[in-house]
Amino acid sequence: MGDFAAAQAPYERALDLSRESGDPRAVAESSYNLSFVFVFRGDKDRGKVLLQEAAAIFGDAGDRGGRAKALWALADTVEGDEEAVMAMNLEALEIFRELGDRFHEGWALWGVGTSATRLGRFDESWARLAAGLEIFREAGDISSMVLLLGSFADLAAVEGDIERALMLAGAAAASREATDAGLGEWVGAIEERQRLVERRATDADAARLWAEGQGMTLEQAVGYALRAS
């Protein structure tokens, strides 16, 4: 996912220069960019502050696309309030659709889908994740497809569909390794999926299902994920 430690200094300098320029939108863009340095390094609190600033400035400037992308990123920094996370992702999704921004619409659908999983709204989760996966498949965005496979595995694990969860988890891991899709490492498995994956060391059936998933091509895995459970 890149050397974010090395990126910190130049991004901080860019933000300082933006503040000196007095251009609010430049400040918002620089704050947004710098936030990822902290988020990807595990310092979500510092990332959150920057994203809150960016979302507010973009909103005041009437930059709906900027506000939407800041809200989408901000949602990933919020913990303990899943309804707030869902609200941010839904607002971002609405704006991206209005703007015809299909790439960011796919990401917002992923955000809504994963939030719905954690809220126990499984039908909505599947529909949102499927719509996002279709967008990324059409675009040929391999890293995003691999990430979505993991989210489908999370959904299956929470629903208690052990076979589907393990096969999708195995497929996601294999595709991530084969394609060097670093995004799949950015978002870790939720607890239910992780417990199932750990079972393969002592459970022959779990190991078999994992191996079956690992034997899928990316296209086969995507097709399997898009088949309703």
CATH number assigned to the domain comprising residue 50: 1.25.40
Q: What is the rounded distance in angstroms from the CA atom of residue 26 to the CA atom of residue 54?
A: 10
Other Cβ atoms closer than 10 A to 38: 21
In a domain, 85, yes or no: no
In a domain, 196, yes or no: yes
In a domain, 213, yes or no: yes
Rounded to two decimals, the pTM is 0.88
Question: Tell me: the pLDDT tens digits for 21-42?
Answer: 999 999 999 999 999 999 988 8
Q: What is the rounded distance in angstroms from the CA atom of residue 149 to the CA atom of residue 129?
A: 9
In this structure, the answer to whether residues 112 and 200 fall within a common structural domain is yes
Number of domains in the chain: 2
In this structure, the answer to whether residues 67 and 128 fall within a common structural domain is no
In this structure, the answer to whether residues 186 and 223 fall within a common structural domain is yes
Q: What is the rounded distance in angstroms from the CA atom of residue 166 to the CA atom of residue 175?
A: 14
In a domain, 82, yes or no: no
In a domain, 93, yes or no: no
Out of 163-167, 173-177, 179-183, least confident range: 179-183
In this structure, the answer to whether residues 70 and 113 fall within a common structural domain is no
In a domain, 194, yes or no: yes
In this structure, the answer to whether residues 217 and 107 fall within a common structural domain is yes
In this structure, the answer to whether residues 58 and 154 fall within a common structural domain is no
Q: What is the rounded distance in angstroms from the CA atom of residue 28 to the CA atom of residue 68?
A: 12
- Domain that residue 182 falls in: 102-229
Contact (Cβ atoms closer than 8 angstroms) between residue 168 and residue 213: yes
Question: Tell me: the pLDDT tens digits for 38-94?
Answer: 998 889 999 999 999 999 999 999 999 999 999 999 999 999 999 999 999 999 999
In this structure, the answer to whether residues 72 and 133 fall within a common structural domain is no
Q: How big is the CA angle at 107 (ends 104 and 108), to the nearest 5 degrees?
A: 90
Q: Give pLDDT, residue 4.
A: 74
Q: What is the rounded distance in angstroms from the CA atom of residue 93 to the CA atom of residue 159?
A: 25
Answer with the one of 77, 93, 120 that is the final residue of a domain. Answer: 77
